[in-house]
Amino acid sequence: MAVLQKLRGWGIILSILVALPLLLFIIDPSQVMQALESLSSKYDIGVISGKSISYADFQRDVDRFGKLHEMMTGSSASSEEAQKQVRDAAWQSLVDKYLFLKNAQAAGINVGLAEMSELTRGGESPIISGNPAFAGEDGSFSPDALSEFVSGLDNDASGNMKLYWDYVQNAVYTSQYYNKYNAIFSAADVENALMRERSIAENNTTAEVDFVMAPFSYVKDTTIVISDAAIKKYYAAHKETFKQQASRDVEYVVYQVVPSAADIEKQNDEFSAIQEEFAAADNLKAFLQRNSDRQLNQTWYKSGDLRSVAREVDTFVADNAAGAVSPVIRSGNNFYSVKVTAAKNLPESVDVRYIIISGDNAQHRADSLVGVLRKGADFSTVAVLNGAPGTVEPGVQGTTFRHNNIPEGLESVMDAKKGVPYVVTVPGGAYILEVTGFGESALMKQVAILEKEIVPSQETFNSFYNLANRLATLSAGTYKGFTAAVDTLSRETGAVAATYAHPMTVYESTSSYGGVDHAKEVTRWAFDNKPGKASGIITVGNNSFFVVAVKAAHKEGIAPVEEVSESIKNRLYSEEYAKKQVEEISEKIAGKDNLEAIAEALGTTVSSQSDVSFASLGSRQNDPKFLGAVAAAKEGEISGPVAGSFGTYVFMVKSREVGSHYTEDDARQEREQLGAYKAQMLVSVMMDDADVKDNRARFY
């Protein structure tokens, strides 16, 4: 019986072993392998030096950096920009780990334990010495403060301190590798005395030039024929210049649902009725909770602050005293009425330092810490040793709150006593606050704003949806059907919106289509479908209906010659045209020994330009090929014809002048700037050489 159970357990495996050879007999094995590779890489965030990074592994790193972000800033990475910063930090840490550090170690660079001890415990690294968590009472680095922090790691039940310390140590370690690598790279980039002298001479030498230019014609010269063989030859010699990202050429129609005239009129009547109740309401907080899109807050505003709401609202508040109520204001897609509730002179800004306490017994812990602070304890040390998330934001020096940008619940700082720590309880925790200074005073006002967005009615919503549905139905899932349907609908009158197809090349990172943001689902559909396909309705943000068609697909890598042949053809044509023009001009001006005669032969005039310099920044607006020819020409002799970027030149350098405005310090500074730019490009070059794949755009 036991043997039978074992055989039953092996049944599925045996079935697979038998079926697999039969499957491979029927299906091309290469197709099976491609399918397996596709499945294995579909959920990879990227590949770094041959190391595949799965979405799950990357997301764990993102979560870790998100927690660090919250600890160091006191707020979660909730905005799209903050989330992007966290993801970028997580990705960069992987690039450092799997690419840069390995390359640096392969170059003979190493950072040992003794060196790390000196950098961290000794405070040699600016990451340590400049960190407010390790600062003493005077704000400078304190070995004792660092020692206290490290000794308290084992007593931190939350694990936050250890997470932060691991992050700091890794930052010090990686930074030291960068410092050493950049130092070696900079030392190898030598500029000898002769090179420096030439650079100074070129920047100080200017020329006065007379010239005649025959511009290139915009009319196509039909005698110049670029063959397919010439295009292919150029392509073969310059393949690396035709690298491209994966992309899709699409056409899309988007119907954005907007209120109709009937919707606006009806909602105006409804708002006017509510506005009368608003003017008479005693409990504004309760009234706005029931009737307004904007709730009551304790923010103080000065003149100009409310322009972001509506210019008319800001003007009314600035011109009226406490108790005044505005009439109905329509601005954009909203109705407003505003009531001025208070007015007084207050500081425009407040300098504050604070500690965030979260978790159980936050109020009790905060009260205890305030008692310690009032006895003279160091603010930063108290924050760190008590494991307060965020420590001090952004340090012992604190932060500055603008009067109209104070976090909700902390408005009391506007009237708080300077230098006296106190506690404010907020949902989920508490703040220990201390005001360290005030800005200049100005007249401030508190307001209650009744706000209602003008929204499309269900009837209007349905009419837009029906129009999008008609387009999708007529398209019948094909690009050909899509173009025919757009042509049909664009000629119809009386529709709630115009039908117009927008052509666009999209990449996996594309998330905006015209004025519609956060439309990544449109991009995903385009990349999941083949050329010639058209979509059904894709809804974005509940008020935008897309219908999309894929016209062409471009794979990542070297673009095929068919896709770039036209640009190559134009380039080769320009080169051949320039050669032909030089030959023709040479024949026309043969035997002429002055520019006036040459200009007459070419049907143009002589122009003059002074202060022409091959190296000066001011001259880079000129034709670079012309500048190069001027730099090499003999003084007092007619030179040319020379094919430039915009036309063909015949010229004479009348004189040269050597100045002294560009000094050795200028040359050194420019060299340092160039070196810094090269250093910034190091990792980018490494990533390109290692063929790093960054697929984050597929997921975020």
Q: Which tokens sit at 443?
A: 């007249």
What is the pLDDT confidence band of residue 41, given thresholds at 50, 70 and 90? Answer: low
CA distance 564 to 214: 30
Bigger pLDDT: 37 vs 510: 510
Domain residue ranges in the chain: 2-42, 43-104+663-700, 107-182, 205-217+564-657, 246-258+457-555, 261-345, 349-439
Q: DSSP state, 555?
A: -
Share of the chain above pLDDT 90, in %: 58
Measure CA 204 to chain center.
Answer: 39
What is the pLDDT confidence band of residue 386, given thresholds at 50, 70 and 90? Answer: low
- pLDDT tens digit sequence for 211-244: 999 999 989 999 999 999 999 999 999 999 999 9
pLDDT at 385 over 60: no
The predicted structure's pLDDT at residue 329: 96
CA distance 608 to 592: 19
- pLDDT tens digit sequence for 583-596: 999 999 999 989 99
CA distance 595 to 107: 58
DSSP-derived 3-state class of residue 242:
helix
CA distance 421 to 430: 13
The predicted structure's pLDDT at residue 494: 86
Q: How many CB atoms lie within 10 A of CB 158?
A: 13
pLDDT at 199 over 90: no
Backbone angles phi, psi at 558, to 5 degrees: -80, 125
CA distance 430 to 549: 53
- pLDDT tens digit sequence for 454-509: 999 999 999 999 999 999 999 999 999 999 999 999 999 889 999 999 999 999 99
Q: Give the architecture-level CATH label for domain 246-258+457-555.
A: Roll (3.10)
CA distance 359 to 266: 48
Same fold, 205-217+564-657 and 246-258+457-555: yes
Q: Report the mean per-residue pLDDT for the chain.
A: 86
- pLDDT tens digit sequence for 61-107: 999 999 988 887 767 777 888 899 999 999 999 999 999 999 999 99
Cβ neighbors of 292 (< 8 A, separation 6 or more) are 449, 450, 451, 452
The predicted structure's pLDDT at residue 390: 39
pLDDT at 634 over 80: yes
CATH number of the domain located at residue range(s) 205-217+564-657 in this protein: 3.10.50
pLDDT at 19 over 50: no
Query: Out of 3.10.50.40, 3.40.50.720, 3.40.50.970, 3.40.50.11540, which CATH number does the structure's domain 349-439 have?
Result: 3.10.50.40
Sign of CA dihedral 629, 633, 636, 642: negative
The predicted structure's pLDDT at residue 561: 95
